[in-house]
Each structure stands twice: as C-alpha cells, then as structure tokens.
Amino acid sequence: MNAKLRRKVKERKRKMRRRIDKFEGPWSSPMITPPAISYELAEKQQAIAAGGIGAMLQLTKQLDLRGEINRAIKLFKMHLPYDEADHVLNISLNLLAGGNCLDHLEDRRQDEAYLNAVGAHRIPDPTTAGDFCRRFNDRHVLSLMSAFNRVREKVWKQQSDEFFDCAVIEADGTQVETSGERKQGIGINYKGQWGYHPLVVTLANTREPLFIANRSGNRPSHENSAFYFDLAVQRCRDAGFRKIVLRGDTDFALTENFDRWDADNVEFVFGIDAMPKLVEIAENLDSSAWKAMKRRRSQKPAVEKPRARRPRFKEQIVVRNGYLNKKLASERIAEFDYQPGKCNRTYRVVVLHKEVHLTRGQMRLFDKEQPVYFFYITNATKKMKSPRQVVVDANARCDQENNIAQLKQCCLSAPLSDLTSNWAYMVIASLAWNLKVWSGLLIKPSGTEQERIDQAATKSRVIGMDFRTFRDRILMVPAQIIRRSRTLVYRLLSYRPSVDVLLLINSNIRRPLRC
C-alpha cells in the first residue's frame, strides 16, 4: 500500500469513527429519515458491487492459475472463444461476486461494469457453463484437482518454516440433497435423504479441500477414502511437511491400511466402534488404569465486572415437561493394546468412559443407566501423545463439520444432471473457497511489532472466516471501474474497516513469490 493510499485510508477511518461516535452528531429521533429519492442512469461511470474481485483476479495471475488449469485439462479442440480456464474462473468468480448458482452467471454476463472489471468482452452463459461441466470424465476431474494442488504448493512455499511441522489430514462424507428426479447417480441414505454423498478430504491446518470425490447418495462415508488419503499424504510430503497425521471418525478406521500407514511413518488417530470385545476389555480393566479426564477450559480475558450468565431456558423446559434428560456427570480415560483382525501388530486404544445420569423431571432413573464408552485407536506412542492428548486430537476433528458446512455455502451442490458433471462442478466451485484461503495465507506480516501482530491476527481471521462473511465483508465493496491505457483501476466508493483488510490482501498478493 503506497503512502498516498495509506493517508486516504486513515482520513476516511477518522471521518467514519467521528460519525458513529455516540458523543458526536444529533440525538434527535427518528434517526433514519431519508429525503426524497430519485434514480438516474450514469452516462460514462461504471461500478460493481464486488470491488474486492480485483484482488482475486490479481491472485490468479500471480499464481499462474490459468496456465495450470489449461495444462491439466484438454476438453476443447479449439478455443473459440473460451479456453478451459475461462470456464473454471467464470464459475468461481461468479460465487465470489455474489452469485449462488449457475443461473446467476446470466446476471454477470449482462453487467457491462462486471465484464470490464474482469477484463472480458463476454463470458459464458449458464447453459454453456453446464455443457462445459458435462464434458468432464473421472480422469479430467482428478487432473483438475491436481492442478489446484500444484498451485496450492506455491502458496504453501510462502509460509514460515513452522508451517511445515505437521500436516493434519481429515476426511468425512456429507449428504448433498437434491429434489431432482432425473439426476443420474443419486441415491437415498439411511435417513431417507435423496442426493449425492461426496467425500471431502481437507488439510485441517488451513481448511483447504485437497480432494473432493462425488458418490451416490447411498454409498458409505469411507468408500475410496484410503485412496484419497494416500494422495493427500503424498501431496503434503512432496510439499515438505515433516509429519503427517490422519484423522477421521469411526467409519474411517480402515484397519487393513494401518500397518501400511504405520510403516510409512504416517500417524493416525481414528475413532473406532464400541464393539462388544472392546467394551469387555474396558470393563475388565483394573481400577488403577483409569484416570480422570480433565478438559481445559478456554481462558477468557479478565474483566472488571463479568457479565451475568443467562438462565438455561431449554433446561427449564425439559425439566418442567418431564422429558428424558441426559447429564454428563464425569469422564475417565484408560488405554490398552489391541490388535485388529486385519493388522499384524498391536496399536494403542484409548477408551473414554462417560458417566451419564438419566433424569426425567426431578427424578433420577437409576435402573436405565448404561455405561457409555468411546474408543480411539492410534499408532502414536506414549512419548508422542498422552491418552488425554489422543482424545483431544480426535475431538478436534469435529471442526471438519464446520469446514463442510462452509463448503456447502459455495461448492457442495448438485446443479447438473449426472454424477460426474456435478463432481466437476463441485471441484471447480471449490476454487472460490481456495482463493479465499490463499488470499489469507499470502499475508506476510511486516512493519512495526504492533503492525506485525495485527497483520498476523488478520491473516488467521481471513483463513478461518466463513465464506459468505468473507464475500460480504471483504469483497462486496462498491467500486468504480476505470479503464486506462494499460491498467484497470478499481476506485472504491465507500469505506468501512474491512477495506483495510482488502487493501492489505491486495498489497501482499503483489509481492514476488518465493520459488
């Protein structure tokens, strides 16, 4: 950010803070009193709502995303007038500019200011975009994911050395519901939901989707997960990560792969079903093997006068109406060695016993209480991880649910007619989420110590930000589009604090990449 722009930003910030200061301005009511309103159409000036889209376009140029996409997939014999990268970028930029589906491409392609903003004479319409996705086969989709991962490695190389200490890879399946009756490949799951059941493999460190595999809605979560786990492990190892950890719920405890992963120095922590044999072992453990499970509470900053806690209204309703109520009374942990039937060696199994009290109204139901056990299997030694740390790491996998929920906001949908084309759309649309994460990862804190601290906090906040929050807060800033001889100027027409983040992202994106 140059000195002139920095000075303008500080001045706009001062004006904004002065305007919203409760000690400034009028105190009359009502406050919202608009004058007479009329509309006019500008003669020459053009503006778009998503002024932050320019930073995303600059990011694609800096990472040579167009070149990687065109080298990875060859779907056209001739590029008249669009190439493969045009279609991929068109779909992802539509999501970043405020669209939610393919039909919203029609709004983009008929917006002259948007076309000027992305430097295009015209862009594909929704029908053409759908035809592009239907050209894909399985090999093309895998090649496109590999292209995204090669670009991802360029971003990873810009990180500090500590970034490569450990890569945590997680996998989970999710149901993408659809009410369409003519979608090839759909199925019905055990909940009675129709749709597809994609597998999502993510890097927990940065919340990036490394691989997405679309499947029929009636397929189990773990189907083909070992194949994508292996691809993700190899990708992270090639990128320079010194330690690889696999995590997943009980569906992903694929015991036939444990010996192979262990021999390859891949650490894993999986939940495992509470099978009768494991429950019997846990019940026969000596009492000295059990220890109290202590979960650390988050340390909240001390305040002079803490807020009073609100009453638990839900609890009051449950007690008043006499509903069955389950209350966690205590937790204990223990561990033992166990050899699964498909393994040639033993592994650590950590068991978590939860004492749950059942009540109905004010009455305690003693005769209905049953022991509750949760089992976790790992190849991490006792020196590497304590039993408590194994449980904590396994529970941290629950954040994968948040990642999938965010991906459903942008890419996990099924707008097309068959399984493979919807798979292609999911992978293409995931680029919108990747661009969000990459824009945050490329922030390199610099300046004074306080500026570095603030920029590091902004970097973490952007990486962990919800997709819609990122789009609405960072990108949806109205900007006038000015075309000059060799440059395209985005003149921001309003100021709010999130503009600082956009300008920080833009200035860091323009830095030369580390080879």
User: Can you tell me whether residue 199 is helix, strand or coil?
Assistant: strand
Q: For 194-203, b where at least 16 C-beta lie within 10 A, e where not — what string?
A: bbbbbbbbbb
The angle at the Cα of 308, spanning 303 to 313, to the nearest 5 degrees, equals 145
Give the model's pLDDT for residue 301. Answer: 57
Report, in angstroms and rounded to the nearest whole number, the Rg of the chain calculated over CA atoms: 27
Q: How many CA atoms lie within 13 A of 253 on its CB side?
A: 22
What pLDDT is stored for residue 295 in this prediction?
82
pLDDT recorded at residue 258: 95
Beta bridge partners of 356: 328
Q: Please give the pLDDT value at position 304.
A: 64
**What is the reported pLDDT for 332?**
93
Series of mean pLDDT values for 10-residue runs along the chain (515 residues) = 79 80 75 75 84 94 95 92 94 94 93 92 94 95 96 95 95 92 91 94 95 94 94 95 94 94 95 92 92 75 71 88 86 93 94 89 68 92 90 89 91 93 96 96 92 94 94 94 87 90 93 83
* The dihedral sign for the CA sequence 47, 490, 428, 76: positive
- CA-nearest of 188, 201, 278, 208 to 233 is 201
